[in-house]
Amino acid sequence: MTFPGTFPISLVESGTGTPGGIAVCGAPASIATLSARLDEAVAQGFHDVTFIDFELLAHPDRKALVRAVVARGLTFGMATHGRGLRREVAAGLRRTGLRRVEVTLHGGSAYPYYLATQIHGWGEALSGIETAARAGLAVDVVVPVNRFSRGSLRNAVVAMEQMPPGVSLRFEPDGLADYAAEIQDGTAYRALLRGESDPTVPSGGRFVPTGQSVDVDLAACPYRRSGSLAEDPLRHMLVRSAEGSFQVYRLSDPMPDSVVRVAKNVRGLVFAGGDPARRLALESECRTCRQLTDCHAAFFDLGTPAPRPTLAAADVAVDLVSSTASAGMRHLRSAMADLPAGKRLRVAGRVPCLAIGADAPEPKPLPDIGIGVIADLAQSHGLSIVDYHLPHETAGGDFDAVFERRDSRVSERRSERTAVLMVSSACVGNCVMCSMPQTFAGHAVPLPRALPLLEEVKLCGFTAVDIFGGEIMLRLDLPVLIELAKRLNLYVMIISTGYGIDEASLGRMVEAGLDKIEIAIDAPNAELHDFIKGRRGLFDHAVRAVRAARENPRVYVEVNTVVLPENFRYLPQLHRFIASELHGHRQHLFYVTHPPSSLVRPRWLDEAQAREYFEVVKPELERIEAELGTHIDFCPSVEPGDFASPEALYKNFSRGCYLGESRRCAAPEQDLMVLPDGEVYACNSPMVIHSQTAIGNMATHRLIDCLSGGPMARWLREAGTWPECESCIARR
């Protein structure tokens, strides 16, 4: 720690220099040992000590130790996880000489924190940081950077923006990989949120005619067949003429590939000259293509865009379009900080767009203040979204968002909210316990619709996204989907059978921003695993995928297993295989759930199998877990004590009923699931989905309307009390 007014010295035993003090090392340490260290500090003329390497707040002799410090006229600092630092404790320690606190914060949101610590304590740690700062202590927050936390550094910055002044933040890499890029990005993001930097992005580019005309049958796309109609297809586009042929246009201005890809192929923001400008639109065949990310893309003249709907009224307005980045951010920060309770703030911005024609405007730099940045800044000031227009709904790439200051509790803003987006139904398997690919066959969320969905998810307060299938690796545009989600500062996860995943493909996804991957392995051998999955060869794919993820220090990997009559006796063998052969440390064991619309028969254990599982298999798993130092998540955690008797447990378990009693469920406040057909649910349990009314459909509703309508009010009131909730595996 570095604090002014102290004298740095080299310290013994810890190997860590602590300026101006002596390090008391070791845990646990007796009061006699600690007192001797204090005497040594006084004898050497030190006025200050710093307690590290053990949790002072949890030390059984804390009060005696503090009295010993006070008796020697010393002041002190401490390193802590912050979770037990309540207001009265901080005030008492401050009076007795505590001057500074170093808090280790494992990740920038609740989920990475849990993965690193196995404790649901992120919100409590933030409360400890805030309490220490308000008590007048110097607070140094340290975020270790590793495979658990690397993808949440921006969120750590956002969390610190909620704190009182004087809280410092630094990132400490664990040394297993070079995390310089992530740390630089996190540091730059803090400067951006504070209006201390001026990042820009090209506001647009012009396409000029090449004079080439081609006849293209989009139903048999030549790009899918031959790969290209021109060199550098991303920088070319096809525009359908009145005669039906396509004119080829070429981008004349230098722009980054990522900006061109999003502005042209993903958003379809291309405009022809005139006043008002005419909007070009992606052809329908292009909108649904899985290779849209890097092709020419074909457009037709949509004409003048329809006027946008009326936005909710606001009391204060901030226009970022005409501002420089730093001036815009400073203005926005000030407006958000000063917004009175119950008042509304409208923020207007713009994303890059493209144009064709001789009268297209000259490209100019645009402040890089996107929807994700605005949503993060609003969160840091405790504002909630009320209304929005997104770029795909407007002319010229403009967007608007209206926020309101409400009397929401801080704890509500510090919970992890996860959206599961089932963007595809295609799958390589035919699992014995799953019929979702058949149920949603033919449905998928095309890339141009996926980006607005991600933006709505971000604006509505979600912090993490699970990009889900089917087999999600069948999406050829998956790296771009990940990149779009990460651009919005969402924690990004995928679940896969492992199909097609090796070091190279995983590296591309991690480079795009993937934070966590879950691989399904349901048996310790290929014969049984492939039988459960319904396709030969998937065991080898899964094993290769887990090994590739373990070798990549920039992604966190877990193994998922469904407990079935076919495999439950092999679970101990499977866990040993995962730990010893694949070097995996964490396994999820999911109990079977079945939606009412399932096309497969229930695969629950019968009563005799349930007895064997709880009396033989599960205790053996727990013994192996303790022996190997690994971790098994039983989903949900079911124990005989949850039911009237063991026999009652076995009987209920054989019917897929895992919860001993009904209770109010917090899922509607934290979870979201969007199905490939657009149906939206405030829960991700298959038993609840389709048995209850959806809160809306993205084909006809905006997400904010789904989350604020009458069906959502019913979910908030009744979730957890429905019969299907007894089969919940999340146990909210």
3-state SS, one letter per residue, for 654-685: CCCCCCCCCCCCCHHHHEEEECCCCEEECCCC
Mean pLDDT of 19-26: 47
The model's confidence at residue 229, banded by pLDDT at 50, 70 and 90, is confident
Helix (H, G, I), strand (E, B), or coil: what is residue 419?
strand
For residues 168 and 198, the answer to whether their CB atoms sit within 8 Å is no
Which pairing describes strands 270-272 and 353-356: parallel, antiparallel, or unpaired? parallel
Report the amino acid identity of residue 6: T
List, for residues 79-112, the tens digit of each pLDDT value. Answer: 899 998 999 999 999 999 999 999 999 999 999 9
Of 74-83, 223-232, 593-602, where does the model show the most confidence?
A: 74-83
Q: Is the pLDDT of residue 615 over 80?
A: yes
For residues 86 and 59, the answer to whether their CB atoms sit within 8 Å is no
Helix (H, G, I), strand (E, B), or coil: what is residue 609?
helix
Token pair for 75 = 């002041």
Helix then strand then coil, % of the chain, to nearest 5: 35, 20, 40
The pLDDT, as a whole number, for residue 176 is 83
User: What does the alpha-carbon distance between residue 237 and residue 247 come to, in Å, rounded to a whole number?
Assistant: 8
Q: Is the pLDDT of residue 65 over 60?
A: yes
The pLDDT, as a whole number, for residue 571 is 98
The pLDDT, as a whole number, for residue 535 is 96
The pLDDT, as a whole number, for residue 10 is 23
Window from 19-33, 124-138, 374-388, 621-635 with minimum mean pLDDT? 19-33
Tokens 């409590």 belong to: 124
The pLDDT, as a whole number, for residue 659 is 83
Mean pLDDT of 183-207: 90
The model's confidence at residue 12, banded by pLDDT at 50, 70 and 90, is very low
Mean pLDDT of 662-668: 83
Mean pLDDT of the chain, nearest integer: 88
The model's confidence at residue 275, banded by pLDDT at 50, 70 and 90, is low
The model's confidence at residue 662, banded by pLDDT at 50, 70 and 90, is low
The pLDDT, as a whole number, for residue 3 is 39
User: How would you classify residue 463: left for phi > 0, otherwise alpha for psi between -120 and 50, otherwise beta?
Assistant: alpha
User: How would you classify residue 555: left for phi > 0, otherwise alpha for psi between -120 and 50, otherwise beta?
Assistant: beta
User: What does the alpha-carbon distance between residue 701 and residue 393 come to, in Å, rounded to a whole number?
Assistant: 13
Which pairing describes strands 236-240 and 246-251: parallel, antiparallel, or unpaired? antiparallel
How many beta carbons lie within 10 A of that of residue 217, not counting itself? 8
Q: Is the pLDDT of residue 11 over 80?
A: no
Angstrom CA distances, 467 to 438, 541, 550, 689, stand at 19, 20, 21, 18
User: What does the alpha-carbon distance between residue 459 and residue 623 come to, in Å, rounded to a whole number?
Assistant: 45
Q: Is the pLDDT of residue 528 over 90?
A: yes
Window from 219-233, 422-436, 554-568, 616-630 with minimum mean pLDDT? 219-233
- Helical (H) or strand (E) element with 356: strand 353-356
The model's confidence at residue 631, banded by pLDDT at 50, 70 and 90, is very high
Of 227-241, 430-444, 544-558, where does the model show the most confidence?
A: 544-558
Which pairing describes strands 679-681 and 671-674: parallel, antiparallel, or unpaired? antiparallel
For residues 447 and 391, the answer to whether their CB atoms sit within 8 Å is no
Mean pLDDT of 513-539: 97
The model's confidence at residue 619, banded by pLDDT at 50, 70 and 90, is very high
Closest to 728 measured CA to CA, from 659, 640, 625, 638: 659
Helix (H, G, I), strand (E, B), or coil: what is residue 465?
strand
How many beta carbons lie within 10 A of that of residue 328, not counting itself? 21
Contacts of 309 (CB under 8 A, 6+ apart): 389
The model's confidence at residue 274, banded by pLDDT at 50, 70 and 90, is low
Which pairing describes strands 631-635 and 200-202: parallel, antiparallel, or unpaired? unpaired
Of all residues in the chain, what percent carry a pLDDT higher than 90?
62
User: What does the alpha-carbon distance between residue 689 and residue 666 come to, in Å, rounded to a whole number?
Assistant: 16
User: What does the alpha-carbon distance between residue 142 and residue 148 come to, in Å, rounded to a whole number?
Assistant: 14
Q: Where are the beta strands (DSSP E) in 599-714?
A: 631-635, 671-674, 679-681, 696-697
Q: Is the pLDDT of residue 165 over 90?
A: no
For residues 516 and 150, the answer to whether their CB atoms sit within 8 Å is no
List, for residues 293-347, the tens digit of each pLDDT value. Answer: 888 999 999 887 777 788 999 999 999 988 777 788 999 999 999 999 999 999 9
Window from 124-138, 521-535, 588-602 with minimum mean pLDDT? 588-602
Give the torsion through C-alpha atoms of 322, 323, 324, 327, to 10 deg. Answer: 180
Helix (H, G, I), strand (E, B), or coil: what is residue 420?
strand
Window from 222-226, 544-548, 586-590, 680-684 with minimum mean pLDDT? 222-226
Contacts of 573 (CB under 8 A, 6+ apart): 524
The pLDDT, as a whole number, for residue 8 is 24
User: What does the alpha-carbon distance between residue 288 and residue 282 come to, in Å, rounded to a whole number?
Assistant: 10
User: What does the alpha-carbon distance between residue 319 and residue 351 come to, in Å, rounded to a whole number?
Assistant: 13
List, for residues 243-272, the tens digit of each pLDDT value. Answer: 889 999 999 888 899 999 999 999 999 988
Of 174-188, 211-225, 518-532, where does the model show the most confidence?
A: 518-532
Angstrom CA distances, 182 to 38, 177, 668, stand at 40, 11, 32
At residue 435's C-alpha, the angle toward residues 612 and 518, to 5°, is 70
Closest to 370 measured CA to CA, from 405, 324, 320: 320
The pLDDT, as a whole number, for residue 731 is 65
Which pairing describes strands 75-80 and 98-104: parallel, antiparallel, or unpaired? parallel
pTM: 0.93
Mean pLDDT of 347-368: 83
User: What does the alpha-carbon distance between residue 143 and residue 135 come to, in Å, rounded to a whole number?
Assistant: 22
Alpha carbon of residue 456 to chain centroid: 14
Q: Is the pLDDT of residue 411 over 70?
A: no
Closest to 639 measured CA to CA, from 623, 652, 626, 629: 652
The model's confidence at residue 514, banded by pLDDT at 50, 70 and 90, is very high
Mean pLDDT of 359-369: 78
User: What does the alpha-carbon distance between residue 39 and residue 36 come to, in Å, rounded to a whole number?
Assistant: 5
**Phi (first) and psi of residue 533, to 5 degrees:** -80, -15
Of 276-290, 528-542, 665-679, 716-730, where does the model show the most confidence?
A: 528-542
The pLDDT, as a whole number, for residue 276 is 62
Report the amino acid identity of residue 395: A
The pLDDT, as a whole number, for residue 335 is 96
For residues 369 and 320, the answer to whether their CB atoms sit within 8 Å is yes
